[in-house]
Structures are given as structure tokens and as C-alpha cells.
């Protein structure tokens, strides 16, 4: 339990010693739940893009995307903030908004139609997800690869929505299938880690991401300067 000391006062007196009690509560890794939502949403969209479901059921696809991805990823994003994980919080929050936009526009749009508005916003969202992928690559490469493939999935889907072309549509669909497979692999690997408290399947961890399973306990002496404890963010 860390302590915080008050600075020396203006009279040079002995500083007052104040103790701050900060309770640390273990929380399960939220990324698997977020990636389950990601896999479900991307495979449904791929099913529509590759013709595995009838065009007349486009509204059903949009509804399923919203109901599967958004709740799971929003909950995971909130848990990510509680664990002070920037990738889980910002990355999954961005994905939740992305799938909400895709799902709603698919739901209310004409069956089999395209939307330049959706294409344009997907370009921005792909760049936003890429930022989280870059940060994730510093410690956990498999989650970073999931986010990087999500970036490609959004970008290629955006090109199709903006320019059209069956080739772009099918390319986006197959990238979505690969993304679903990689996301589910990441879910399995991370859940096995949570169960065994050690790596079971390769996660390609590096740096601080690898140190967490080698008995390294991060110092808590400067915890009073962490976001949520200090007075300013």
C-alpha cells in the first residue's frame, strides 16, 4: 500500500506525513471479450460481402453487428479504463463506435447499397485503430496484429463503400474472415493465460508485456502520479 508525503512547508518545518490508501482490485483481462465481439461482427459483415447471406437480409446483418459487437466492446472498453490499459480502453472503445456506425448504416440503408459517408468515416476509423495497434505492438504483438488487420479491414471496406467494385468488396470480405480467425485465436490464447497464469499459446509478448509472466512486479511507489489518483490528467 503506497504512501504519499507532503512537501516541506514554507517555514521549513518537518513535513506532515499523510498516508493515502489505494485499493488495488484484480480485474480479468477485458481484451478477450472485446475480440469475441470483433470476430462476430466482422464475420457477419463478411458473410454479406461474400454473398453467404441474401442481399435482402442486409438489415438483419446490420442488426446482428450492432447487438454482437457494441455491447461486448463497450463493456471491455470500460474494464480497460479500470485496468489503466490504453489499448483495451481506447482501442476497444473506438471499435465499438466503428461497428455501431457500420451496423446502423447497414440496417437503415438500402439492401446491397453503398454509402460514401460510411466509406469516408471508415478511412478515419482505420487510422484511429492503427494508433492503438502501434501502441499494442510495444508489448503484445498478437493483439497488435488483430488491430492492424482490423485497420486493413476498415480501410478496404471504406474503399469499396466509396468507390464500389466487386473486387474491393470480396477483398474486404476475405480480410474479415482472416480477422475473425485471428481474433478468436487471440481470445483462446489470452483466456488460457488467464487460467494458467502463464503463456500457453504464442502471444509474441515483448518488453513489459513479457515481464508480467516472469515474476516482475511493477513498482507502486509512484502510483500517486497515475491517472485517476493525481488531481490533473
Predicted pLDDT of residue 163: 92
pLDDT in tens, 110-163: 888 889 999 999 999 999 999 989 988 887 888 899 999 999 999 999 999 999
- Domain assignment present for residue 20? The answer is no
Cβ-based neighbours of 155, under 8 Å, separated by 6 or more? 122, 123, 126
- Domain assignment present for residue 66? The answer is yes
For every residue of 178-227, DSSP letters joined together read: HHHHHHHHHHHHHHHHHHHSS--S---B-THHHHTTTTPPPP-TTGGGST
- Domain assignment present for residue 18? The answer is no
- Domain assignment present for residue 19? The answer is no
Of the given ranges (24-28, 192-196, 227-231), which has the lowest mean pLDDT? Answer: 227-231
Domain extent, residue 177, equals: 31-211
Q: Is residue 86 a contact partner of residue 147, using CB atoms and an 8 Å limit?
A: no
Of residues 233 and 111, which shows the higher confidence score?
A: 111
CATH classification at residue 101? 1.25.40.600
Rounded CA-CA distance 188/225 in Å is 35
Question: How many structural domains does the chain have?
Answer: 1
- Domain assignment present for residue 14? The answer is no
For every residue of 18-64, DSSP letters joined together read: E-----------SHHHHHHHHHHHHHHHHHHHTTSS-GGGHHHHHHH
Q: Tell me the C-alpha to C-alpha distance, in Å, between residue 129 and each of 4, 56, 166, 203.
A: 37, 31, 25, 20
Highest mean pLDDT range out of 14-23, 129-138, 206-215, 217-226? 129-138
Confidence of residue 2 (pLDDT cuts 50, 70, 90): very low
Rounded to two decimals, what is the model's pTM? 0.79
Q: Calculate mean pLDDT across residues 25-30.
A: 74
- Domain assignment present for residue 140? The answer is yes
Cβ-based neighbours of 148, under 8 Å, separated by 6 or more? 130, 133
Take residue 42 and report the three cell numbers written for it.
466482422
Confidence of residue 227 (pLDDT cuts 50, 70, 90): low
- Domain assignment present for residue 219? The answer is no
Highest mean pLDDT range out of 11-20, 104-113, 146-155, 193-202? 146-155
pLDDT at residue 94 is higher than 90: yes
- Domain assignment present for residue 138? The answer is yes
Q: What angle do CA 212, 216, 221 make, to 5 degrees?
A: 110
pLDDT at residue 213 is higher than 70: no
Amino acid at each position: 500500500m503506497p504512501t504519499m508525503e507532503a512537501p516541506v512547508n514554507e517555514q521549513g518545518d518537518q513535513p506532515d506525513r499523510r498516508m493515502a490508501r489505494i485499493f488495488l482490485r484484480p480485474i480479468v483481462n477485458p481484451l478477450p471479450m472485446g475480440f469475441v465481439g470483433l470476430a462476430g461482427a466482422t464475420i457477419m459483415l463478411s458473410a454479406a460481402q461474400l454473398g453467404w447471406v441474401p442481399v435482402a437480409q442486409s438489415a438483419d446483418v446490420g442488426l446482428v453487428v450492432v447487438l454482437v459487437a457494441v455491447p461486448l466492446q463497450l463493456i471491455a472498453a470500460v474494464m480497460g479504463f479500470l485496468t489503466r490499459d490504453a489499448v483495451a480502453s481506447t482501442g476497444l472503445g473506438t471499435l465499438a463506435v466503428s461497428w455501431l456506425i457500420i451496423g446502423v448504416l447497414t440496417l437503415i440503408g438500402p439492401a446491397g447499397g453503398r454509402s460514401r459517408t460510411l466509406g469516408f468515416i471508415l478511412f478515419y476509423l482505420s487510422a484511429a485503430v492503427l494508433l492503438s495497434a502501434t501502441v499494442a505492438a510495444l508489448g503484445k504483438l498478437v493483439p497488435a496484429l488483430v488491430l492492424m488487420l482490423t485497420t486493413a479491414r476498415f480501410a478496404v471496406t471504406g474503399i469499396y463503400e466509396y468507390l464500389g467494385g466487386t473486387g474491393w468488396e470480396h477483398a474486404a470480405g476475405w480480410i474479415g474472415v482472416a480477422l475473425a480467425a485471428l481474433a478468436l485465436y487471440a481470445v483462446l490464447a489470452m483466456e488460457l493465460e488467464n487460467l494458467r497464469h502463464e503463456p500457453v499459446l504464442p502471444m509474441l509478448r515483448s518488453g513489459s508485456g513479457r515481464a508480467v509472466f516472469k515474476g516482475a512486479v511493477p513498482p507502486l511507489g509512484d502510483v500517486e502520479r497515475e491517472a485517476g489518483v493525481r488531481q490533473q490528467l
